Structure 1
Amino acid sequence: MGLSLHISIVPAIMVVVSLQVWLPLGCVEEERAALLQLKDSLNYPNGKSLPSWRKGDARCCDWERITCNSSTGRVTVLYLDSVRNGELGDWYLNASLFLPFQELLWLYLWDNQIAGWVENKGVYRPFKMRKLEYLDLSYNRLNNSILSYMDGLSSLKTPDISYNRLEGLIDLKGPTTLSTLYLNNITVYGSSFQTLLQSLEAFPNLTTLGLGDNDLRGRVLGFLNLKNLELLDLSGNTLNSSNIFQTIGTMTSLKTLTLWNCILNGQLPTSQGLCDLNHLQELDIISNDLSGFLPPCLANLTSLQQLYLSSNHLKIPMSLSPLYNLSKLKDFYGSNNKIYAEEDDHNLSPKFQLESLYLSSRGQGAKAFSKFLYHQFNLQYLGLSNIQIKGEFPSWLIENNTYLKSLYLENCSLSGPFLLPRSSHVNLSILSISMNDFQGQIPAEIGAYFPGLEFLMMSDNGFDGSIPSSLGSMSSLQLLDLSNNVLTGITHSNNSLQGQIPGWIGNMSSLEFLDLSANNFSGPLPLRFGASSKLRHVYLSRNKLQGPIAMEFLDSSRIVALDLSYNDFTGRIPEWIERLSNMNFLLLSHNNLEGEIPVQLYRLDQLTLINLSHNYLSGNILSWMISTRPFQSIMTNYDSMSSSQQSFEFTTKNVPRLYSGSVIRSKFGFS
């Protein structure tokens, strides 16, 4: 009897456990109501943000920008950054709306035009989220009163109130748990700043301090006595080189130091100060006026992993020999300095294995690849632009570094044929070898050896012969620039396309930028660009292309620039051009087009530059252009490529003029 009873109970228990795990998770009703009130507040008077927050939906943990505790169903994270429509004006928050969120840990409210707080029936009520650890109120319009509202945040560790309207004397309040504080771009200076810095000593657990973009002067730092700091950001201030390095040298716990754009000048210290920070892992002194050689004492920074020295006037050896002792170094950015070759390029091997290396020179260059590069096997990002290295293409770099993702060798005086690695390299996504002296044909198998390329820049070389059809197999290719070479066409079986732009370019489904200008292409345009639905820029000028403009785009509305100038096109400007509704640049000059200027051109209301000169066209476009097209600069963003200048020639009163501007903006961060 007892045994059978025991057996019958077990399945029942298992069923209960199963229901507890798989039961659909709703959310706490009081928090759901508070969220809906919060939505109404940020949308007042007529905003439309957060459409997934619906009154009839009880599952608020599934709403956008919300994270809940999987056990209790309570909200733990609110991602409410940039949700307020700027056209609605300032937003005044009711702090009482946050009272129901008893388990909220992280709250993001940056960039919402928050100008202050609404008190409940005239009664001051601070935040009372006792578990909140992270509060981001940066990029708003708050004044000093925000400091009082943090009184009730007993667990707060990281407040960010940067880029607001704090000014004058700041009475900094907060719990002793405070470990991270961001006060970037606050209008505090002189004695008020000294008072602020002294008040920071009330927070014994403070390890991270951001004071960037202030009016901080080197003399003020003498009041800073924060021995436990691990991260210090002073970027965008005007600092005194000798004072700042001497003061920072006392902060022996520092792991990250950012002195970007601080107008530092002179030489890096050779003994005291900077070189005493043996726990330092990241050093950023980009965009200053520092000069001289790298001090030998940098070898003392044995914990260093990232070193950013770009955009100074430093003399950096191509061998990086002063850094050989830094076994943990992963990233070195030294571009826009004076890169030089040491007279005695020794055979010592560095202790480090770099993942990122960027060097570009303001000086004489290096004359050859440094020997230490032959010992690097973990490189993912390598840029050696504007260094007169000379020699052949370093295919061994690609072979040795199987994780290499981007390789920039622009303007390095490299010559000879373009040498493929011995085997396929699937990780390489960016390859730029523009402005060199490469000769011969582009290897026929290039597509098979670099199947993952997204950006391929080979302009301004001496490549001749045909464009290999294997480029068509690069399904991820977004930018292809083969301009300013002497290419003649494509080699293909049943060679009926010799000398023409290859039709397989349309198979590149990710292609966004195509530049085949200044070559010797002839024959008609490809009728259709096929699967290139992302294509935005097409530059085919200065070739020998003929026939009517009969091309067709899969998604015409994406095209922003079309340059077909300096060819031999005939016939009329096609009526389908009105489908290019987002066109910014249209250049059809120096052809043999005829007929009237089509009325469809008038409907392209995004045009900022058009050139129809040196054709046989009739009609009047000048009055329309002047009355409806204010000239403006155009900038198009790409997420992962270097900047490029595009020049357009246009004619006024029979005088050719050149418009030159950036059509692609870099977002890399290496300089």
Structure 2
Amino acid sequence: MAPPPYILSFFVFISLTSVISSQQFFTSDQTTLLNLKQWWENPPSLANWNSTSSPCSWPEVQCRNGSVTVLQLDNMELTGTIPPFICDLRNLENMILHDNYITGEFPRVFFNCSKLIELDISQNLFVGRLPEDIDRLSQLQSVEFGGNNFTGDIPPAIGNISALTSLQLYQNLFNGTIPPEIGNLSNLETLGLAYNEFADPVLPPEFGKLSSLQILWMAATNLVGNIPESLSNLASLRSLDLSLNYLEGEIPPGLFLLTNLDVMFLYLNKLSGSLPSLIQSQNLTQIDISMNKLNGSIPDDFGKLQMLEVLNLYSNRFSGQIPTSISQLPTLRIFRVFRNNVTGEIPPEFGLHSKLESFEVSENNLTGKLPENLCAGGTLTGVIVFSNNLNGEIPRSYESCNRVTSIQLYNNKFTGEIPPGVWTLSNLSTLRLTGNSFSGELPNKVAWNLSLLEINNNKFSGQIPSAISSWVKLNVFKASNNLFSGVIPPELTTLSELSVLYLDGNSLSGELPSQIKSWNSLTILNLARNKLSGQIPPSLSSLPNLNELDLSENQFSGQIPTQLSNLRFTRLNLSSNKLTGKIPSGLDNGAYENSFFNNPNLCSTSHISNLHNCYSKNSRKKFSPKIIATIIILSSFLLLLAILFTLFMFRDHLKKKPKRNRTTWKLISFHNLDFTEANILSCMTETNLIGSGGSGKVYRIGVGPPRGFVAVKRISNKKVDRDLENDFSSEVQILGSIRHSNIVKLLCCLSNPNSKLLVYEYMEHQSLDKWLHGKKRKAEPGLDPHFVLEWRRRLQIAIGAAQGLCYMHHDCSPPIVHRDVKSSNILLDSEFKATIADFGLAQILEKQKPGQDNMASIVGSLGYFAPEYAYTTRINERIDVYSFGVVLLELVTGKEPNGKDGELNLAEWAWKHHGESDTMVGAIDPEMKDSDIYMEEMSTVFKLGLICTSTLPSSRPSMKDVLEILRRCNPMDELPEELKEGRDEFDVAPLLKRERSRPDENDDELVAQV
């Protein structure tokens, strides 16, 4: 039976209504999306958005029932703010905006998106605090706010969003407390609070109520106190990362009973005591408890973890032997126990039961032989066992270690010859054997990629083979103190990539090759203490980068080639030879006074000690009486002119001496002064001018003992020049209120209607840039053009400057951003102690009122700009970190920050070099003569400079982290007393590797490099 007509009419009406409603949603959402595109200035990535196509067909949009539910705009290079109409998308459930350049405070417009279940605004440039009523987003299941610049407290109300399964707030600037209310989120599976500087917090015991939690990531959050026992209740936990904190006490035994725990990171805390023996989780795949103060024996129970792949125990105080059970684990890939007090022999079964990839046991007290089967799995990449008491020979089985790139056996007691196949391992690039008793001759062929060979202090003998010309990748060759004999083959000079060559302390004889063919990269040549003879080849002068030459204690004869004067040596030693004649004029000065000892027939024209003068006793007879009389007459005439000129100038000064200045000067003192206003004003003359810049001139004024001198910056008042007025006010406001030994001391300020004077303590060695860059050093009066800052002094300067910036960023309230950090604004006192100067561009970060502009004009110096500062002009501490990173690169490379004539600037050049080369060759300042000694420290500081100059602000470390890394590089004898006690070597990798996602075992490679 057919339905009544009115029933059919009803269904038709409903269908038409649905279609009309759907069409209305479609039209409205399309309009909103096109407005979004226009708001963000039509980015090229949204070129396919147009009014003629359906939004549901756009790749960035997903729909349901004709209405937009998903908006996925990640990595679109969006700039600007969130538009106020974005929630006109009424049915929007997933808003994904991560990895853009969106600015502003947390958009309260999000509260109008009532159906949101996922909100991802991570890796942007948001600032300010999260709203206290964040729980108005009550339907949220996933919150991704990481990688921004949110500050203050995490709102306790976030614990009311009961549907949350993921809460990611990592890498922000939160500096309040961790709300225990987060423990109320019973559905939470992932909690990421890492890399925030919470105010001295403890780990809330309430977190033990997170029954669904699988991932807890709280690295570098300033945690103190003990790990709560309540964390043992987290039955679903698979990954726990509490690294880079200040936790104390023992690890709760219950943590090891968690049946689902896959990964455990507890490194770089201040954990003390021994490790619990109750390690029973059969699912554990990774354990990282490195860089603590754990002691006692390594638990044998580690051997019960049949799924364990990674075991990192390095940089602790473990003692006793390595348990044999660990070597029998079937899945073990990475074993690192270096820098402990482990004794006994290495278990011989290592590598026999699993595919080992990394084996590092260096810096312990191990004895016995190397395990035969380390490479049995065919996956080992390194044999790192240096600084132990190991003995015996290298096993022949190591000839099959084809994936090994680095073998480091130095400072042990190994003997015998190197197996021939080890020399030619297909991937070997580093072979360090120094400080053993190895014997035998050098091979004709080595690995194609061998770049570093160190065999100092062994018993290698025979001649250097002429086939050495095939070692084409060799960069560093150190073979000091062996038994090599014969001549230096000319083929050695064909190695174009060789930069360091040490052959001193052998029995080499004959003459040096007269033609140097391809040593264009050579920076150090040391052939001392051999039996070499003949003349010094003039061709050495053709080596453009040679800065260290030691030919002492040989039998070289003849004259020193005059061409050597063309080189800029930082170290030259030609002592104890048979050289004759005059020292070339370019080398005959005090800078090389100790370079020519024990050469009886050498002479000097500049009275170098221990050498006789080149002029004979009768030399003055070569001047005729007529010439002598002429000299006397001219000298008398010049003296008379000088006296008359002085009298004239004194009379003129008396005539022009101004009357007492009636202008009233206002003096504001910030310290007890040992000089008067008159001392300053009477000496403001051009003769005392020592510098000038965009904000004024700087004078060096003598004020008498005990201070000696002060530096005075003069800023002239001009009605139209309000910027300089602001500079003055800013500098007085900041420097007058802070006290720190690494920030230049503002003694007082003087002002009148026409001028303003800032009086600082005087820094005798002026600015850092003048000591780093040779051209400036030569041009600057009073600076020795031959003096070079060596590495230890550069490191101390970096630490001092970092201490000043760290104080400004972390200890001042509100924090202070300098905005013009550069080497010319780092001043050095008589002991080369560094101080931060020139705060005319600094700005205190005060809380902005709603609607108040937080922008400022772009200021600073080319080469030091943070990338985001150029296009957002937004001020925060990360722009100082970027600029300081450039300074670190200057200290390591000696290069100037600006690229010239279209070249890359220093930061760009350093990143390019890092990407193209695995070594520091070409990056180290060639003027530093101690670079080979401190190569590891320089490499660490270079990498630190790189990460400080990361393009993304959130990827840069804080100045607190930067300072900690630099302090750990500091030589032990120069550390402050409070840092010496219990000092462990510091691994910069966790701080340097600040990725957008959670760190994992991929960090291990960087750890190994550092």
Shorter-chain TM-score range: 0.5 to 0.7
After superposition, where does 1:500-511 map in structure 2 within 5 Å?
500=488, 502-511=489-498
| Deviations 1:635-663, CA, capped at 9 Å, x for gaps | 869976899xxxxxx9xxxxxxx999424
Structure 1 residues 340 and 510, CA gap change in structure 2 (3 angstroms): same
Does the 8 Å CA contact 2:195/2:220 hold for their aligned counterparts? yes
Q: Which amino acid aligns with 2:445?
A: I
d(CA) in 2 for partners of 1:524, 1:587: 19
Q: Which amino acid aligns with 1:295?
A: P
After superposition, where does 1:445-594 map in structure 2 within 5 Å?
445-447=444-446, 450-489=447-486, 499-500=487-488, 502-526=489-513, 530-545=517-532, 546-548=534-536, 550-552=538-540, 556=544, 561-567=548-554, 568=556, 571-572=559-560, 574-575=562-563, 578=566, 585-590=570-575, 592=579
Offset at residue 285 of structure 1 (A): 1.9
Aligned to 2:336: 333
d(CA) in 1 for partners of 2:105, 2:349: 71
Aligned to 1:253: 260
Structure 1 residues 441 and 356, CA gap change in structure 2 (3 angstroms): same
Aligned to 1:289: 293
Does the 8 Å CA contact 1:406/1:429 hold for their aligned counterparts? yes
Offset at residue 432 of structure 1 (A): 1.6
Q: 2:787 aligns with which of 612, 629, 654?
A: 629
Give the structure with higher Rg (CA).
2
Structure 1 residues 71 and 525, CA gap change in structure 2 (3 angstroms): farther
Offset at residue 523 of structure 1 (A): 4.7
- Does residue 403 (structure 1) correspond to residue 741 (structure 2)? The answer is no
Does the 8 Å CA contact 1:218/1:238 hold for their aligned counterparts? no
Does the 8 Å CA contact 1:430/1:456 hold for their aligned counterparts? yes
- Does residue 392 (structure 1) correspond to residue 377 (structure 2)? The answer is no
| Deviations 1:602-656, CA, capped at 9 Å, x for gaps | 9xxxxx999635374444899977577364426869976899xxxxxx9xxxxxx
d(CA) in 2 for partners of 1:573, 1:163: 60
d(CA) in 1 for partners of 2:358, 2:171: 31
d(CA) in 1 for partners of 2:790, 2:399: 42
Q: Which range moves more in the overlay, 539-548 or 125-134?
A: 125-134
Offset at residue 188 of structure 1 (A): 2.3
d(CA) in 1 for partners of 2:35, 2:510: 70
d(CA) in 2 for partners of 1:390, 1:531: 39
d(CA) in 2 for partners of 1:523, 1:641: 33
Highest RCO, 1 vs 2 (Cα 8 Å, sep ≥ 6): 1
Q: Which amino acid aligns with 2:314?
A: S
d(CA) in 1 for partners of 2:563, 2:474: 30
Structure 1 residues 525 and 279, CA gap change in structure 2 (3 angstroms): same
d(CA) in 2 for partners of 1:382, 1:348: 12
Aligned to 2:718: none
Q: Which amino acid aligns with 2:441?
A: Q
Give the secondary-structure state (helix, strand or coil) at the position aligned to 1:298: helix
Aligned to 1:277: 281
| Deviations 1:458-509, CA, capped at 9 Å, x for gaps | 11111111112333212222222112212124xxxxxxxxx12x33234334
d(CA) in 1 for partners of 2:450, 2:559: 37
d(CA) in 2 for partners of 1:245, 1:60: 52
Offset at residue 207 of structure 1 (A): 1.8
- Does residue 308 (structure 1) correspond to residue 324 (structure 2)? The answer is no
Does the 8 Å CA contact 2:356/2:380 hold for their aligned counterparts? yes
- Does residue 95 (structure 1) correspond to residue 98 (structure 2)? The answer is no
d(CA) in 1 for partners of 2:394, 2:454: 14
After superposition, where does 1:636-655 map in structure 2 within 5 Å?
none
Offset at residue 330 of structure 1 (A): 0.4
Does the 8 Å CA contact 1:528/1:554 hold for their aligned counterparts? no
Q: Which runs of 5+ in 1 are unaligned?
A: 1-27, 38-57, 62-68, 81-92, 110-115, 490-498, 603-607, 644-649, 651-657
Does the 8 Å CA contact 1:521/1:543 hold for their aligned counterparts? yes
Q: Which amino acid aligns with 1:258?
A: F
Does the 8 Å CA contact 1:457/1:482 hold for their aligned counterparts? yes
Comparing both structures, which one devotes a greater share of its residues to helix? 2
d(CA) in 2 for partners of 1:179, 1:601: 70
Does the 8 Å CA contact 1:76/1:103 hold for their aligned counterparts? no
The alignment-based identity, stated in percent, is 20
d(CA) in 2 for partners of 1:164, 1:624: 47
| Deviations 1:509-547, CA, capped at 9 Å, x for gaps | 433332223233345544665445544444334344452
Aligned to 1:322: 325
Q: 1:159 aligns with which of 136, 146, 149?
A: 146
Structure 1 residues 32 and 232, CA gap change in structure 2 (3 angstroms): farther
Offset at residue 386 of structure 1 (A): 2.7
Q: Which amino acid aligns with 2:431?
A: L
Aligned to 1:77: 75
Does the 8 Å CA contact 1:256/1:281 hold for their aligned counterparts? yes
Does the 8 Å CA contact 2:393/2:417 hold for their aligned counterparts? yes
Offset at residue 342 of structure 1 (A): 5.7
Aligned to 1:6: none
Q: Which amino acid aligns with 1:254?
A: L
- Does residue 416 (structure 1) correspond to residue 416 (structure 2)? The answer is yes
Q: Which amino acid aligns with 1:323?
A: I
Aligned to 1:267: 274
| Deviations 1:129-174, CA, capped at 9 Å, x for gaps | 998758347xx99665599999999855572466664222356999
Aligned to 1:107: 99
| Deviations 1:59-103, CA, capped at 9 Å, x for gaps | 999xxxxxxx997799743799xxxxxxxxxxxx95349999x99
- Does residue 187 (structure 1) correspond to residue 169 (structure 2)? The answer is no
After superposition, where does 1:418-457 map in structure 2 within 5 Å?
418-421=418-421, 424-443=424-443, 445-447=444-446, 450-457=447-454
d(CA) in 2 for partners of 1:482, 1:151: 71
d(CA) in 2 for partners of 1:146, 1:405: 52
Does the 8 Å CA contact 2:381/2:405 hold for their aligned counterparts? yes
Structure 1 residues 327 and 168, CA gap change in structure 2 (3 angstroms): same
Question: CA RMSD of the aligned region, Å?
Answer: 5.3
d(CA) in 1 for partners of 2:493, 2:42: 48
d(CA) in 1 for partners of 2:85, 2:514: 63
d(CA) in 1 for partners of 2:190, 2:588: 60
Q: Which amino acid aligns with 1:232?
A: L
d(CA) in 1 for partners of 2:273, 2:920: 30
d(CA) in 2 for partners of 1:117, 1:457: 52
Give the secondary-structure state (helix, strand or coil) at the position aligned to 2:480: coil
Offset at residue 437 of structure 1 (A): 0.8
Offset at residue 309 of structure 1 (A): 1.3
Give the secondary-structure state (helix, strand or coil) at the position aligned to 2:318: strand
Q: 2:246 aligns with which of 238, 244, 247?
A: 238
Aligned to 1:21: none
Offset at residue 331 of structure 1 (A): 0.8
Q: Which amino acid aligns with 1:285?
A: I
d(CA) in 2 for partners of 1:563, 1:147: 69
d(CA) in 2 for partners of 1:230, 1:213: 20
d(CA) in 2 for partners of 1:142, 1:601: 61
Q: Which range moves more in the overlay, 593-602 or 471-480?
A: 593-602
Q: Which range moves more in the overlay, 70-79 or 585-594?
A: 70-79
Does the 8 Å CA contact 2:386/2:410 hold for their aligned counterparts? yes
Offset at residue 396 of structure 1 (A): 1.9
Count of residues in Structure 1 that have an aligned counterpart in Structure 2? 550
Does the 8 Å CA contact 1:94/1:119 hold for their aligned counterparts? no
